[in-house]
Amino acid sequence: MNDEINSDIRSTKQYNPQMHSAEHILNQTMVRMFNRGRSFSNHIEKKKSKCDYFFDRNLTAEEISIINDKVNEVIRLNLNVVEEFYQKDEAQKIFNLSRLPEDAGDKVRVIKIGDYDACPCSGLHVTSTKEIGIFKIISSDFKNDVLRIRFKLIND
């Protein structure tokens, strides 16, 4: 990877790698369970984070439990987290690039978490899901067609 791309990655999203990787797994879990797309907004911090989804209701207690279980199951699989680069025109055939900045350039960095998730991203990530810890949804609420999920990580 060239120095310009490295510099761009370091200067953009400096999220906590464990929490950011967990957010990717949560997003893919939500896509698989509800088919509503990835979060349209998020705030990733070391102590707790949130993701906002376009939705039609709040989650049930059973759904929260299932999401927690599915995310933690993926984490326990000890999947490799790797980056790949695509030409922008090729990436737009595979991924939604609407959240990329206009000046993102011709190469798109994609973070892959095993065979579970692949998503364009400029943030920092773990190298393996075993580094994440235990995922736990701490609350969810629904307001104005937006489902907000707040979560944290518990380290062993």
Per-residue pLDDT of 16-64, as tens digits, reads 999 999 999 999 999 999 999 999 999 999 999 999 999 999 999 999 9
Q: Which structure tokens are listed for 140?
A: 């969810």
Residue 6 reports pLDDT greater than 90: no
pLDDT for res 156: 61
Contacts of 110 (CB under 8 A, 6+ apart): 83, 84, 85, 86, 91, 95, 118, 119, 120, 121
Q: CB of 25 within 8 A of CB of 129? A: yes
Residues 4 and 11: beta-carbon distance below 8 Å? no
pTM above 0.75, yes or no: yes
Could you give all domains of the chain from N- to C-terminal order, each with its CATH number?
A: 3-154 (3.30.980.10)
- Say what the pLDDT of residue 10 is: 39
- Contact status, residue 68 vs residue 136, Cβ threshold 8 Å: yes
Q: How far apart are CA 97 and CA 108, in angstroms?
A: 9
